A = this chain, B = another copy of it.
Amino acid sequence: MRNDNSQHLTPGALPSSMQLTREGQLKHFLTIEGLPPLLLEEILNRAEQFLDLPNKAQNKAPVLRGKTVMNLFFENSTRTRMTFELAAQRLSADVVTLDIRHSSTSKGESLLDTIRNLSAMNCDMFIVRHQHSGVAHFIARYCPPHISVLNAGDGYHQHPTQAMLDMLTIRQHKKEFPPLKVGIVGDILHSRVARSQIHALTTLCTGEVRVIAPRTLIPAGIEQMGVNVFNNMEQGLDDLDVIIMLRLQKERMQGGLLPSEREYFSLYGLTEERLKLAKSDAIVMHPGPVNRGVEIDSRVADGSQSVILQQVSNGIAVRMAVMTMVMSGQATEQSLL
């Protein structure tokens, strides 16, 4: 096994090895960065098995029966919270959701004390959503060894389950990653989704990954992640197989980065006309919720090339897959002790 302990513990360079057991099984799911391609493919394969479940008469899998999953949402996200809750329920886990904004932390308790206390309640898994980068890693580092941590979005850093549901959606339509040209359009600078997608796409050996955005919304040095940068939408869309639109994070945008929503749409909005620049069978993705008329035209969002709702369905399956993998990682580790 690799040992990344020498790396600095800034959010940009966290030791990816800490999310694997000594046998290389998934123990936490914090970031895509550093995970081997086979492991990503195992997530996709498992998720596909779960996709059939809801249509069966008996669609409750007893895999996590007797396990306790705690949703720790320091930042509000109804949709992500629900998909994790549903995933855990369908695996028969006990689920408790903690809206931390209203909890003991408001009584002055530190994050570390909160985590220690929740851990002491015989919890098996934390789902963590936080507005600051690195919090899921922090919790994984300091919680007891029998607990797995799943990152449900941390600051501008990572949102790995979102990236994997996107990969699943791409694979369902395009089969193989190496021949593909994939473009990510929008606010790359503030997007944990984009960061995780780039890691996943490059790990899966995607032919070309582009980021398409105004200069003000592209982080410095992003080329080092293995992507090509386009500031012109038309040039960036040319010949793409997959177009991933990002949500314009109005609540994250700081003044002055963009002139107006209208101008943004005129320059980077995905219209039917622009869509024709991509391959004729290109698929259009978006993590939701969609700002219609801001980053994407309604006719494209609802059009035949849009796979946006399929992404949502895939989200539950991917989360079920990751949950079962970290729990079996735990079981293996314990049987080896």
- Selected interface stretch from A28-36, A110-118, A132-140, A179-187: A110-118
Contact among B117, B292, B312 with A79 in the assembled complex (CB-CB below 8 Å): B117
Closest chain B CB from A149 CB (angstroms):
18
Besides A113-B290, A117-B289, A121-B313, 17 new A-B residue pairs in contact (Cβ under 8 A), listed by A number: A57-B66, A60-B94, A68-B86, A68-B90, A76-B102, A79-B104, A82-B98, A85-B96, A86-B94, A90-B94, A104-B288, A107-B250, A113-B288, A120-B309, A120-B312, A121-B312, A121-B316
Residues of B with C-beta under 8 A to A118: 82
Contact B107 A313 (CB under 8 A): no
Contact among B86, B290, B291 with A96 in the assembled complex (CB-CB below 8 Å): B86
Contact among B94, B98, B313 with A78 in the assembled complex (CB-CB below 8 Å): B98
Tell whether A109 is near chain B: CB-to-CB under 8 Å. Answer: yes
Which B-chain residue is minimally distant from A116 (CB atoms)?
B309
Which B-chain residue is minimally distant from A118 (CB atoms)?
B82
Tell whether A122 is near chain B: CB-to-CB under 8 Å. Answer: yes
Copies of this chain, how many?
A: 3
In the bound complex, CA of A121 to CA of B104 (Å): 31
Contact among B103, B122, B312 with A54 in the assembled complex (CB-CB below 8 Å): B122
Closest chain B CB from A323 CB (angstroms):
15
